[in-house]
A and B are shown apart, each in its own frame.
Chain A
Amino acid sequence: MTIQIKTIDLEPKRQTFGHVARRLGGDKPASRYLEGTLDVQATDHFHYKPLWEPEYWHYDERKTAVKMADWYKPLDPRQYYYATYNISRSTMHQAVERNFAFVRERGLIEKLGRNARIQVERGLLPLRHLHWGSNMNMSEICQRGYGTAVTAPCIFSAGDHLGMAQIVSQIGLELDGQTGSSLDGAKTNWIKDAPWQPIRKLIEDSFVERDWFHLYTAQTLGVNLLFDMVYKHADAAWGDGSITLGMLTGFMADWRADEARWSDSVVKTVAAESAENNALISGWAKTWIGRAVEAGRAWARELAGDRGNAADKAGEAAIARARSLGLAV
């Protein structure tokens, strides 16, 4: 007897959700990213008008001056949704843990010279507060923004900043034998130490910006250049600890490249929508890059001892970046 194995090909009634199919222009299988992003945010039928801001609805396109016909146009080229974001970050964090283990095993932190220690405590540890401020900005953009395509990656970015603040704190704990005293000192420096004050003013001024895309431009093109300055252009500041610090902050370099792929593409898409958008964003970018460079100079002068060079270099890179996105800066 011969047995014939037959397969029946059952066509699914639909390949994806109706609202996703309408955007894809046909019923075809969509990636999880698209299914988890497109038209996820509510647009109608809100029950209660927010009393704290009665001129707007909860999700309201008028909360920024830039206008988009479709806020689902600036998609994330990294295609992050909850799962892919977490998988990517957990891989990156494994490298961090390995590096910390390596540094601990070889006692590289104990081997730091006195000067390098002082430099790290004064010049690097207060940066956790700037990360925390950036976390608040990104969360604010997420809650005031419009469209899941932009707001979802913002909360991922907020999570990144929280994580980086923790990495900086961990470096502090390695320095002070897990007592936390270096972190108390870092907070005092953040509030009182002169070279940090322009940077603190910059981030605190950004907290009160109500236009969410203005804030987005300020954060991703302006504030982020300060992270470039510290992590990328100021190796000399850490003296004999530059290699150790380079290892421990490797995450930040990877993060910056990853973040820029997304944040640049959003700015580029929104600026390309109309000449009005471009003019607004160019103006914001110009102001905030200028302010960030100005704020960074005091840090670079005092703490990197390079007459402000690191800030200028990071600023030039930010301007080149903004120009490549089609902005007039």
Chain B
Amino acid sequence: MAQIASITLQNNDEARPVIEAIMADNPGVRVLNMPGAVKLDRDGELVVKRASVEERLGRSWDPQEIHLVIISMAGNLDEDDDQFALSWKH
């Protein structure tokens, strides 16, 4: 069974473009809506792409800005200028 990579974000104006980008870029992602938060799970890997967020946000976006809206995450983190990726790969 594949391990689940997961991210939990606040459900607000700043996070919404990020959530939409994740849903567009990660086929098969499972969305769990909670009061004030959104948990996104996916088998194996979950990636947040800078370009997709920028397209929805209408301005340049640094993947580090995700820390302003993140609540929790699961998986090993691979972060660079273009993406914020969670997976259980080594």
* Residue positions of A touching B, CB distance < 8 A: 7-10, 29, 31-33, 76-79, 88
Complex CA–CA separation, A7 to B39 (angstroms): 15
Q: When chains A and B are docked, how far (Å) is the Cα of A76 from the Cα of B57?
A: 11
B→A interface (CB under 8 Å): 13, 16-17, 33-35, 57-59
Q: Which residue of B lies closest to A78 (CB)?
A: B58
Taken together as a complex, chains A and B put the C-alpha atoms of A155 and B4 apart, in Å, by 49
Known: A78-B58, A79-B59. 14 other contacts (CB 8 A): A7-B34, A7-B35, A8-B35, A9-B33, A9-B35, A10-B35, A29-B16, A31-B17, A32-B13, A33-B58, A77-B58, A78-B59, A79-B57, A88-B59
Q: Could you list 15 A-B pairs, sorted by A, with CB under 8 Å?
A: A7-B34, A7-B35, A9-B33, A9-B34, A10-B35, A31-B16, A31-B17, A32-B13, A33-B58, A76-B58, A77-B58, A78-B58, A78-B59, A79-B58, A79-B59
Closest Cβ neighbor of A11 among chain B residues = B33
A258 to chain B, nearest CB (A): 10
Distance in Å from the Cβ of B33 to the closest Cβ of chain A? 7
| Chain A residues in 8 Å Cβ range of B34 | 7, 9
Residues of chain B contacted by A8 (CB below 8 angstroms): 35
- Find chain B residues with CB under 8 A from A88 CB: 59
Residues of A contacting B33 in the complex (Cβ-Cβ under 8 angstroms): 9
- Residues in A with CB closer than 8 Å to B16 are 29, 31
Q: Write out the residue numbers on chain B whose beta carbons fall within 8 Å of the beta carbon of A77.
A: 58
Name the distance in Å between B2's Cβ and chain A's nearest Cβ.
Answer: 28
Residue of A nearest to B16 (CB): A29
The CA of A9 and the CA of B34, in the complex, are separated in Å by 6
Contacts of A29 in B (CB 8 A): 16
The 8 closest A-B pairs by CB, nearest first: A79-B58, A78-B58, A9-B35, A7-B35, A77-B58, A29-B16, A32-B13, A9-B34
B13, chain A: closest CB distance, angstroms: 6
Which residues on A sit within 8 Å (CB–CB) of B57? Answer: 79
A208 to chain B, nearest CB (A): 34
The minimal Cβ–Cβ distance linking A266 to chain B, given in whole angstroms, is: 14
Closest to B55 in A: A77
